[in-house]
Amino acid sequence: MLSSMRTQVGIVGAGPAGLLLSHLLHLNGIDSVVLERRSRDYVERRVRAGVLEQGTVNTLIEAGVGERMLGEGLPHSGIELRYGGAGHRIAFEKLVPGRTITVYGQQEVVKDLIAARLAAGGDIRFEADDVAVHSLEDAPYITFGGERLDCDVIAGCDGFHGVSRPSIPEGVLTAYEREYPFAWLGILARVKPSAEELIYACTDRGFALHSMRSPEVSRFYLQVPADEDPDAWPDERIWTELKARLETVPGFTLATGEIIEKGVTPLRSFVTEPMQYGRLFLAGDASHIVPPTGAKGLNLAVADVRVLTEALTRFYADGSTELLDRYSQICLKRVWRAQHFSWWMTTLLHTFDSDDAYARRLQLSYLDYVTSSEAAATTLAENYVGLPYEAAR
């Protein structure tokens, strides 16, 4: 016999989407329980994205969890596109005044949200075994570790490999997917960043990205084959290749240091429609994946959660399901815009086929256009810093 409890919203997954949803619901007087199969230590140490759009920054501040981000995050008012032996700055402050991005690691956002939820008496169940969702059409409940959680609504915030999306009956969802013929070798190094802003480098050797996590820790990415083994990249090889792809502008020298983490991440685009079934609502990676080139993954999850919070707040205020019914429609408008931007940035900057000279010349031509046309640069800038939430309505 399962022991039973009840809440208003059952949330599967204690990543940024699930934790932020729980906190926003709490601020609106709505109870929730968060179930996470991993340990708290694992969740707080899991290194993921680190670029926050202006809307994400504003959301965290409004939710009362932005104090550490404001103190430790690194605001950036531009990025550099580097190719053909020159660097070209996309100046956000000129092209999209008042909107920037902030570099602040996803794991830091998670730490802040966990601390806020626990301080407010929130119920987060880490290391929850055998999580499963049931009876999605009318009386949803979640089972885990010998317990049963009855709820009005389930939020599936458990990522691409979670249990929520596969629980939807076959034939309900339509999946759209694209896999890319390369991956990113990601490196975290204990070294001061060599530039004040992110550098996106397009070279004949492949793509490279210079990023950062703090004034003392840098983050780098290298385009590698899709099936690459990270063990094939000893530290010396990594620094040699990063220098070859980034030291292409006169006067720029890449600082090197101790590599403290490395791993290979495949690139894919994925969207499932709709993002809801019955009383189950998917958010974040449970419903959509973007290649990291456009820095949209975490930010899309935050946008989903904002919509779901508003819809649930209205539902509990007056019983209206109007916004809940339109949840997928509202979210997918923004999701597809981000999908296109992420695909566009990926095709603009990566080497697809070194033997295709025609495609390479088209790529360089478009880079020239983006870096010489204010209209084209503005399109990049406004998508990169994030479109206003109202634009997705």
> Which residues are the active-site residues?
76, 200, 292, 296, 384
Of 311, 308, 309, 307, residue with least CA distance to 319: 311
Cβ-based burial of 24 (10 A; exposed 0-12, middle 13-18, buried ≥19): buried
The label of the residue with tokens 């959680």 reads 149
Task: Find out whether 200 and 209 touch, Cβ atoms under 8 Å.
Answer: yes
> What is the three-class DSSP state of 198?
coil
Q: Tokens at residue 119, please?
A: 């301080």
Q: Alpha-carbon distance 180 to 153, whole Å?
A: 35
H or E element that contains 318: helix 297-318
Partners of 124 in the β-ladder: 34
**3-state DSSP assignment of residue 38:** coil
DSSP string across 136-188: TTTS-EEEETTEEEE-SEEEE-S-TTSSTGGGSPTTS-EEEEEEEEEEEEEEE
- Nearest CA to 385 among 100, 106, 80? 100
Q: In 10 A of CB 20, how many CB atoms?
A: 31
Query: HEC profile for 233-261?
Result: CCHHHHHHHHHHHHCCCCCCCCCCCEEEE
Q: How far is CA 241 from the centre of its chain?
A: 26
**Nearest Cα to Cα of residue 385 among 51, 89, 16:** 51
The alpha carbon dihedral of 310, 138, 287, 51 has a sign of positive
Q: How far is CA 335 from CA 77, 269, 367, 382, in A?
A: 24, 11, 25, 15
| Number of other residues whose CB lies within 10 A of the CB of residue 356 | 12
